[in-house]
Structure 1
Amino acid sequence: SVYFLIIVLYFLHDFSDFVKNRRPHGFPPGPWALPVVGNIFTEIARNYLSVYGNVYSLRIGQKWTVVLNGFEVLKEALVTQGDSLADRPLGPLIVERSQGRGVITTSGHIWRQQRRFALSTLKYFGFGKKSLEPVILEEFTHCAEEFRSFKGKPFNPRVTMMNVTANIICSLVFGHRFEYNDEKFRKLMWNIGESFHFQRTIWAELYNAFPGLMKYFPGLQQKLQKNWAGVRGLIREEINEHKKISSEQRRDYIDCYLNEIQMNKGNDDNTFDEENLVNCVWDLFVAGSETTSTTLRWAFLFMAKYPEIQEKVQAEIDRVIGQSRQPSMEDRVNLPYTDAVIHEIQRMGNIAPLSLPHSTNRDVQLGGYTIPKTDNDIMNSLKYSYLKLLSSFFSV
């Protein structure tokens, strides 16, 4: 009968899926995976640490993911065998967004060249140094004005803090800041925020697992493409404005990159071009704006939850800095309590609990298991859970 045929076909499909996607020999153990979708809908629903230990595996769609927990195994992976796990897995969403360019999601030669340039250039413009302090202080002057505009009424600081951190990046990358109500700036923040939000949803996991199918979902593909095009378009506008003036002036990151493009023309190993510049600028916003603004919002939350700590911080700031001047990095040595509180906020704040995914560029041994080199058939991406690392290491 038709029903019997359907049952047989369903059984054969499930059996084929099990045989095709079964765990490789010596692979870390893990929970049973549903046919086709694997563990997509159960990845964050349960804690498998107590069942499978510090190294276990999940199947996301048709691809395997290894999850690492605990200080020792993370040290082994990130430090001892760090070179073997330095690459990034190229999921469909990443490929479509970055087109194999940029600095966050690339691997090998292109990553090393782009990362080296980004670090040296940002350092040149004061990133991590005192010379960036005036830019930060100026931006927080605008932030204070924005806060005062609410006249003591409750408000959500998320948008304002995103604007603050993004504007500091704009000063480094574009050479100027934007007013918070600037239409171009608001569009940039909206598109980056939407893109970042999508990557944390179940739709992103489904997109990576079944890209061919998800492209036909009504509106989804069109919305993503429109969002990505919006970010690229604004960055290209800034690049075109910079090209009207000689890049030898080295006013900002874009100037330096355009100069690097000219210097590397004709080199066989050259990875510098305008498309890479667009993606590198995008990566700088993604890496710097969301993470920093989220850290600051955690600080607001902890200060509200522990008013006695807030009072001690305020008392130390009033005693050392007072009300007549702005703070400076030179004050840090005289603010030990405030410095300790900031570090504790960064320790406890849940910024990126799974960090960024890694992939193996050779066979590795971790926790007594064999994790094969990533190839076109199996994507062995390693997600490092720093939240669970802190839980086990500090016993909190």
Structure 2
Amino acid sequence: MFSSAFVQSKSMALFVFLGICLSCLIFFSLWNQHYDKKKLPPGPSPLPIFGNIFQVDIKNISKSLATLAKEYGPVFTLYLGMKPMVVLCGYETLKEALIDRGDEFSGKVESSLLSQASQGLGIVFSNGDRWKQMRRFSLTVLRSMGMGKKTIEDRIQEEVFYLLEALRKTNGSPCDPSLLLTCVPCNVISAIIFQHRFDYNDEVFQDFVKDFNRVIKILATRWAQLCSAYPVLYHLPGSLSAYVKCMTQQKTFILKEIKRHQESLNLSNPQDFIDHYLIKMEKEKQNKNSEFTMDNLIVTISDLFGAGTETTSSTIKYGLLLLMKYPEVTAKIQEEITRVIGRHRRPCMQDRNQMPYTDAVLHEIQRYIDFVPIPVPRKTTQDVEFRGYHIPKNTGVMTCLTSVLKDEKEFPHPEKFDPNHFLDKRGNFKKSDYFMAFSAGRRACIGENLARMEMFLVLTNILQHFTLKPLVDPEDIDTTPLQSGLLSLPPHYELCFIPV
């Protein structure tokens, strides 16, 4: 009796096992049929559900893409989860897609963590006509308020003055510069959007600034990258709690400023970005389809702060670390500062043309750290025939900036920090089309010009007034990024600012 039951049980287990195997075979067959019909560029064969996730090192995605590009070419398909992602590598490929055919590759996917919060609003993650309207309006207002002109330089100079005062108060003691370096670009943006700056000791402002740092760290985690591949994970209880908390606090801060503007708004005399936007809202209040809504204003402000704050401050922080690691580079910059500017006059943007070595170092810092190796994926806005391949409308497109910034043909020693990458044989600054630190085309970083000005003015002012003293021997300084997934965050460190 027992034997019979055992045989039946064994037969049932075998039947279930065979059923599972058959189901898997059918699933694989259906998947492959679906996969083949796409007629996308070649790439590694994906697994059902998981796609190519096991063939990508989340710790260093750009390195994985570079390896796959060697096998499949500069245009290949990768499945991160169930959806295909066309990967573009190399300067010529990115130039053709992002610059020459920018409109066709100008969409933004909605699966990233940031896009979940923006809900398709603002500048960074909006698409279609909404994106065009928000981008056009924002650029027009920012330019009218001096973006890229002398007036915005004056705002940066004012903020640099407060930074130098704060650094002097450290009295040459070891300090972590992260918060102060974030306050500078954040206050510059604040002056444009809110018409006023905040004291560095303002606790509410400090929390606002710290939230940017928290968000950037969350975005760099493996969990955030996994959620981008599998958006269903966003719905797990508690999975987004830290991120939601940061975004809620930022929204509260922004809403408070908007309310203050609403109470004092003069329709004939706008003072800042919010005033211009509120006036535009008033003009379009009869238009039911207007894109100029309160929700869009909040996200747009958040986008402007996000684009112009943490990326700039992290780059400057990384730059200081590299300058301590290579004191001979720092000495050459300080010699150039003394020769061109002197000890008492403030550096200004006009000086940059006379300071080729400093300009080269600034470019090399951005090239070397490769802060955003893989920007937030784009998507095609229409069916695209690209380099012999058919890419359907709304297909995700991943651009590997590392493949350009670390191109060994353009930069002979791509893994080495070497300002000579941007200098000719006579010591003059050498421009490179391969410098895509801000991406390229119409979806390039909207705050590029502002960031360039801030990095030059902040670093030259610091080196004019202080000697950078590391806490360890320069040879022992580790410049390995804290994380190297979608973002390359600078490692934690302290230093001493010694007045000169």
TM-score > 0.5 by shorter chain: yes
Q: 2:244 corresponds to which letter in structure 1?
A: Q
- Please say if 1:36 is aligned against 2:56: no
Equivalent pair of 2:179/2:210 in contact (CA under 8 Å): no
Match of 1:91? 111
Q: 2:250 corresponds to which letter in structure 1?
A: V
Equivalent pair of 1:247/1:256 in contact (CA under 8 Å): no
The Cα shift of 1:320 comes to 2.1
Q: Secondary structure at the match of 2:195?
A: coil
Equivalent pair of 1:37/1:61 in contact (CA under 8 Å): yes
Equivalent pair of 1:30/1:57 in contact (CA under 8 Å): yes
Q: 1:223 corresponds to which letter in structure 2?
A: A
The Cα shift of 1:211 comes to 3.3
Q: Give ranges in structure 2 of 5+ residues lacking alignment.
A: 1-11, 415-500
User: Residue 240 and residue 26 in structure 1: after superposition, are their counterparts in 2 closer, same or farther (change >3 A)?
Assistant: same
Q: 2:44 corresponds to which letter in structure 1?
A: P
The Cα shift of 1:213 comes to 4.2
- Corresponding residue pairs, total: 390
Equivalent pair of 1:68/1:382 in contact (CA under 8 Å): yes
- Please say if 1:121 is aligned against 2:141: yes
Match of 2:376? 356
Equivalent pair of 1:321/1:327 in contact (CA under 8 Å): yes
Q: 1:35 corresponds to which letter in structure 2?
A: P
Q: 1:202 aligns with which of 194, 211, 222?
A: 222
Q: 1:390 aligns with which of 401, 405, 418?
A: 405
Match of 1:19? 30
CA distance, structure 1, for counterparts of residue 110 and residue 330 of structure 2? 44
Q: 1:147 aligns with which of 158, 167, 172?
A: 167
Larger CA deviation: 74-83 vs 198-207: 198-207
Q: 2:342 aligns with which of 297, 300, 322?
A: 322
Match of 1:377? none
Match of 1:244? 263
Match of 2:483? none
Equivalent pair of 2:90/2:404 in contact (CA under 8 Å): yes
Match of 2:396? 381
User: Residue 18 and residue 301 in structure 1: after superposition, are their counterparts in 2 closer, same or farther (change >3 A)?
Assistant: farther
CA distance, structure 1, for counterparts of residue 357 and residue 15 of structure 2? 72
The Cα shift of 1:17 comes to 5.8
CA distance, structure 1, for counterparts of residue 90 and residue 72 of structure 2? 13
Match of 1:233? 252
Equivalent pair of 1:242/1:254 in contact (CA under 8 Å): yes
Q: CA RMSD in A?
A: 2.3
Match of 1:305? 325
Match of 1:5? 16
Q: 1:223 aligns with which of 242, 260, 277?
A: 242
- Please say if 1:180 is aligned against 2:236: no
- Please say if 1:369 is aligned against 2:389: yes
Larger CA deviation: 55-64 vs 272-281: 55-64
Which runs of structure 2 are paired with 1:209-288 in the superposition (5 Å)? 209-217=229-237, 219-248=238-267, 249-267=269-287, 270-288=290-308
Q: 1:254 corresponds to which letter in structure 2?
A: I
CA distance, structure 2, for counterparts of residue 14 and residue 49 of structure 1? 30
CA distance, structure 2, for counterparts of residue 182 and residue 11 of structure 1? 65
The Cα shift of 1:15 comes to 4.6
Match of 1:102? 122
Larger CA deviation: 342-351 vs 255-264: 342-351
Q: Normalized against structure 1, the TM-score is what? A: 0.90
CA distance, structure 2, for counterparts of residue 155 and residue 15 of structure 1? 61
Greater CA radius of gyration, 1 or 2?
Answer: 2
Equivalent pair of 2:121/2:299 in contact (CA under 8 Å): yes
Q: 2:153 aligns with which of 128, 133, 142?
A: 133
User: Residue 17 and residue 216 in structure 1: after superposition, are their counterparts in 2 closer, same or farther (change >3 A)?
Assistant: farther
Equivalent pair of 2:182/2:310 in contact (CA under 8 Å): yes
* Identical-residue share of aligned pairs (%): 36
User: Residue 33 and residue 158 in structure 1: after superposition, are their counterparts in 2 closer, same or farther (change >3 A)?
Assistant: farther
Q: Normalized against structure 2, the TM-score is what? A: 0.73
CA distance, structure 1, for counterparts of residue 54 and residue 169 of structure 2? 43
User: Residue 297 and residue 9 in structure 1: after superposition, are their counterparts in 2 closer, same or farther (change >3 A)?
Assistant: same
Which runs of structure 2 are paired with 1:326-341 in the superposition (5 Å)? 326-341=346-361
The Cα shift of 1:11 comes to 5.8
CA distance, structure 2, for counterparts of residue 128 and residue 122 of structure 1? 9
User: Residue 148 and residue 257 in structure 1: after superposition, are their counterparts in 2 closer, same or farther (change >3 A)?
Assistant: same
Q: Secondary structure at the match of 2:76?
A: strand
